[in-house]
A and B are shown apart, each in its own frame.
Chain A
Amino acid sequence: ETGVTQSPTHLIKTRGQQVTLRCSSQSGHNTVSWYQQALGQGPQFIFQYYREEENGRGNFPPRFSGLQFPNYSSELNVNALELDDSALYLCASSLVAGAKTEAFFGQGTRLTVV
């Protein structure tokens, strides 16, 4: 158990719809990162939030957006869903106390777009 929880665990959406995925960080962690893991591939970095501000983004379009709340929980929002958005979405939380700090991953949300 990493102390990072994600909800829901599975989700099915229709192309064109919008989806919100949630992540509860490990207690005391102020940084959260989101990753997309397509089937048979490694995780791809989407973006990172530190103290409620986005401070790093991967090669994903603007329809992927996020929020981090004062309690450091986080949301990933995806608009105008496409079939290729089907993937496992992972969040990772960490405490910024020097670059050597470890990130802890949640179990992921499996999103299927039909």
Chain B
Amino acid sequence: AQSVTQLDSQVPVFEEAPVELRCNYSSSVSVYLFWYVQYPNQGLQLLLKYLSGSTLVKGINGFEAEFNKSQTSFHLRKPSVHISDTAEYFCAVRRNTGGFKTIFGAGTRLFVKA
């Protein structure tokens, strides 16, 4: 079985400051890792994914994440945030053999202040 822990439920940050949203996972099998963003009253949009290869993954809207297998972490970062980045962010895992069952964390609310 897999599980995902997002270590911060809310992250307030000032505009143009850097941000890191933390994610740890647990799995007995190899997994793919994802970050999704959800704006109010909308569905999920994929920010980035780690499937294999380079552990530093770049996504949309200037976000990037680093896969650390030894620490079972997949933290999301952005060097300079904008007001428009205010949203809910979900870290997720999916085993890499068969099926599309994706396990999501509880989410981190990023609030960017002017």
Contact = CB atoms under 8 A, between A and B. Distances in A.
Contacts of B69: none
Contacts, number: 64
A58 B98 contact: no
Interface of B: 4, 32, 36, 41-46, 49, 51, 90, 92, 94, 96-107
Given A56-B99, A99-B32, A108-B42, 11 more contacts: A33-B100, A42-B4, A42-B104, A44-B104, A48-B101, A94-B100, A99-B94, A99-B97, A104-B46, A105-B45, A107-B42
14 contacts: A33-B100, A40-B106, A42-B4, A42-B107, A43-B90, A43-B102, A45-B103, A56-B101, A92-B44, A100-B96, A104-B46, A105-B44, A107-B42, A107-B43
